[in-house]
Structure formats: C-alpha cells, structure tokens
Structure 1
Amino acid sequence: MIYGVSALGAGIPAGIAQAMSLVVFAGSAQFIIAQLVAAGTPALVVVLTAFIVNIRHMLYSASLARHVQKLGWRWKIVLAYLLTDEAYAVTMQHYQRAEIESDYKHWYFFGAGLTLWTGWQLSTAVGVFLGAQIPASWSLDFASTLTFIALVVPALKDRANTAAALAAGLAALAFVALPLKLSIVAAIFTGIAVGLLMEKRSKKYHAMSEEGEEVCHSKSSG
C-alpha cells in the first residue's frame, strides 16, 4: 500500500504503478524505482539499480535449488517468479523445521508465494486508489523495515547466522555512500564471508572437541 502511494507521488501513472507490482514483484526494488523516477534519474540507471538491489534473489534461489531440482522447468519458472524475501523466509523455515523429503513439498513454496503475491497486488491497488487518504504523520514507510526485522530475527539460531547478520548490517551502514545502492551488494558479500568464516571455525572447534573426547576415552579405557 505504501509503495502505491509512493509511486503516485513520484508521478508514475496508476496503471503503470500496478503493473510494476505484477512485473517486478519486489518491494525494495519498487520503492527505489519510485524514488529514482521522482528524482528524474535516467532509465538505464533505474534498471541497473533495480537489478543490483534484487541480486540477493540469486542467493535465495541457490539456497532453494536442492529442494526444487527434480521439478520440471514450468514449475521452476513459476516458483522463480513467486520468490520474494518473505516467501523464501517462511519456506526455508518450514523445510528446515520439518526436514521434509517429499515429491510434493514444492506446493508449500507455491502456496506461500501465491499468498504473498495476491496480498501484494491487492495492497498495491489500495495504495494507488486510496492511499492518498492516509496521513503522512503515520510514517507507515517504516513498516517495510519492521517486516525485514521480523523475518531475520527468528532465523538467527546460531553464532554463524548472527555474526553474518551483524556484519552485513554494519557493512550496509559503512558503505551507505556508495552509488546505485552498492552498499547492499557490499553487505551481502560481507555477511556471506563472515558467516562462512564462523561456520568453518565452528566445525573446526567441534572436530577438535570430538578428537579430544576420543583421546580421553582411549586413555580411560587403557
């Protein structure tokens, strides 16, 4: 809904604003596009910026690949279109919690994505046609930030994930002055690097602990 209001405020016609939710279907990219259009940014820069902001979906898709690798290309196209931050979060949490190994588990992914897609299209329409009635003093634009916080926090279940999230957040702040929202790309790679490093150290620590236990057990047996 907030995006619909922002798009109209940027001078984007109502029909195109609604179409963007159908074609782009990525909240953060749509907000940035609206801001760039309002600033009179050249079209090529707008497209490039949206691409950079959405590059995180490549990481999401790589993470989900093993769960959908047996599907046909039609299913993969549909699920790729429905893949968003929220759909990824709830789907992966479901898969990890249930440890599902089924030929039909992609239906959960599809259901989550379709539900979010429907809500996104309807709320965009509400923003386009009714959003102007909402007082600016409500500061509803902060709702998107709260949404991401609600998605990330439940996923921080170990040191590696927590360290990756903190490092990515700090990197995003440190590189915020970079053009074309490149701070997001910097945050992504920083978070991945720190997460992998912490995971490697954790595995090494567990391996050493197991080795120490085996030595102690051997001595006690002797």
Structure 2
Amino acid sequence: METVHSTQTKSGRKAWIEGVARALPVVLGYIPVGFAFGVLSQKAGISLWNALLMSFLVYAGSAQLIAAGLIGAGTPALSIVLTTFVVNLRHLLMSAALSPYLKKWRKRELAVFSYQLTDETFALHSVQFAKGMPGKPEVFAVNITSQASWVFGTWLGVTAGQLITDVKPLALDYALPAMFIALLLLQLRDRLQIYVALLTGLLAVGMLLLGFDRWNVIIATVLGATIGTVVELRWNRKRFS
C-alpha cells in the first residue's frame, strides 16, 4: 500500500519526468524501427504527411509495416484493412490484462490510454502496475514519449528514404526484437515466469513453422498465460494447504 500511495502523490512534473525516463528503452527501439517504416513508406509511394498521419493515428508498428508493403504492391484497401485488423487482434489480450488496474479511470482517459497502448508500453505498464499503480501523469508520459519517438523515427525515415536504396544492411529490423528481449527480462522474477516465457516462445515458433503465421503469437500467448496461471494456482494451493 505504501508503494501505491507514494507513487500517486508525486508532483506532476516529477511524475512526467519519471514516465519519460521509463519510456527510454522503448524510444531506443522505436526510432530505428520507425525509421525503417519511413523508408519503406517512401519506397511504397506514401507521402511524408500520410506516413506521419499513419504513425499518429494508426500507431501500430507491425501493422504499419505490413500496410506499407501492401500499399506498395497495389493491394486493395479492404484486404489491407482486414490484414492489419487480424495482426492487431492481440490488443484485445493486452487490454484485458490491464483492465483490472484501470477500473476507476474515466472513459475518456481509457480511450486515450488504449489508443496509445502498444506491445512495448504494455510490457512496461504490466511491470509497473504489478509493483504499484502509478499516477496518471506518469502513465501518459510513458505513452506520449513512446509515440512521439515513433512519429519522429517515421519522419527521419521518409526524409532519408530518397538517399537509401536498401534498408536491410542497416539491420534496423533487429531493434524491435532486441527491445522485446530487454522488456521481457524485466518481467522475469521467478522460475515459473522463466518457464512460461520459454514455453510461450517455443509454442509461437512451432505454430509459425506449422503455418499459423497470423495467429501464432495470439494462440501461444493465450496458452502460455493459461498454463502459467493454472500451475501458479496449484502451487499456491499446495503451499497454503
């Protein structure tokens, strides 16, 4: 209880500074990946303002990268919408996981929060919420800083796109997996979490090899979380019985 109270009573300025600081790992990943998206957008014929508008309104890295490729290939709009919708279905799981912590929030606050929620900010919030619910300024500082870095990376990429013929040698696509690994390590606090993380990773890779390239992450996440919850409940029953 002390952690929650002390966190919520921080001054607005201090809370924003701490939120910005907590978002730095995401920023370091978003700028290069946003840069890669900007370059790909420029190659696909998407204008600077449309690319920036996509990063501001859509704000979904994997969906934007896929959409840019599909636009460049001349794919019909309906197919692009359906494809990106399926890719982003995992947001249902993330929102459901955080909803118990946000019961007292107003609807407009929830709308803004959910709009800016990504895989990476979800990981940060999951760790922080489990320790103690931070104040709203700190939460929104994380989200705003992360999105600003994504938009900035997009601007850099589109601007430099005319000078770069091939983005692959820059290995920018490694930035996002590297960031996910770093965020995952912050959440591993006991053996059970390590086992669940390894199992979920193996399930995701296995289903990808079996052809579930659009659903492997969602299915693996649900199975891993379910198994982890069941095992933890059984361990707790044995411990307190």
TM-score, normalised relative to structure 1? 0.80
Q: Is the 8 A contact 2:188 2:194 kept in 1?
A: yes
Distance 1:95 1:23, change over 3 A: same
Which 10-residue stretch deviates more, 17-26 or 151-160? Answer: 151-160
Instruction: Extract unaligned runs of 5+ from structure 2.
Output: 1-34
1:184 counterpart residue number: 217
Considering only aligned residues, what root-mean-square deviation do their CA atoms show, in Å? Answer: 2.3
Q: Is the 8 A contact 1:87 1:109 kept in 2?
A: no
Alignment of 1:17-36 (within 5 A): 17-36=51-70
1:87 counterpart residue number: 121
Cα shift at 1:206: 1.8
1:125 counterpart residue number: 155
**SS where residue 175 of structure 1 aligns?**
helix
1:146 counterpart residue number: 178
Distance 1:47 1:162, change over 3 A: farther
Which 10-residue stretch deviates more, 39-48 or 73-82? Answer: 39-48
Q: Is the 8 A contact 1:159 1:198 kept in 2?
A: no
2:41 counterpart residue number: 7
**SS where residue 57 of structure 1 aligns?**
helix
1:16 counterpart residue number: 50
The answer to whether the aligner puts 1:105 opposite 2:138 as a matched pair is: no
The answer to whether the aligner puts 1:70 opposite 2:100 as a matched pair is: no
Cα shift at 1:39: 4.0
Query: Following the alignment from structure 1 to structure 2, what is the Cα–Cα distance between the partners of residues 40 and 203?
Result: 55
State which of 194, 198, 213 in structure 1 corresponds to 2:231: 198
Cα shift at 1:180: 6.2
State which of 185, 207, 215 in structure 2 corresponds to 1:175: 207
1:218 counterpart residue number: none
Query: Following the alignment from structure 1 to structure 2, what is the Cα–Cα distance between the partners of residues 45 and 161?
Result: 38
Corresponding letter in the other structure for 1:62: A
1:51 counterpart residue number: 85
1:157 counterpart residue number: 189
Query: Following the alignment from structure 1 to structure 2, what is the Cα–Cα distance between the partners of residues 87 and 200?
Result: 27
Distance 1:10 1:160, change over 3 A: farther
Cα shift at 1:111: 0.9
Count of aligned positions: 204
Corresponding letter in the other structure for 2:181: I
Computing the radius of gyration from Cα coordinates, the structure with the larger value is 1
Q: Is the 8 A contact 2:94 2:122 kept in 1?
A: yes
Q: Structure 1, residues 69-88: CA drift from partner, whole Å, max 9, x if none?
A: 21221111111111112222
Cα shift at 1:18: 1.6
TM-score, normalised relative to structure 2? 0.74
Query: Following the alignment from structure 1 to structure 2, what is the Cα–Cα distance between the partners of residues 162 and 49?
Result: 32
Q: Is the 8 A contact 1:164 1:190 kept in 2?
A: no
Cα shift at 1:179: 5.8
Corresponding letter in the other structure for 2:149: G
Distance 1:13 1:144, change over 3 A: same
Q: Is the 8 A contact 1:6 1:31 kept in 2?
A: yes
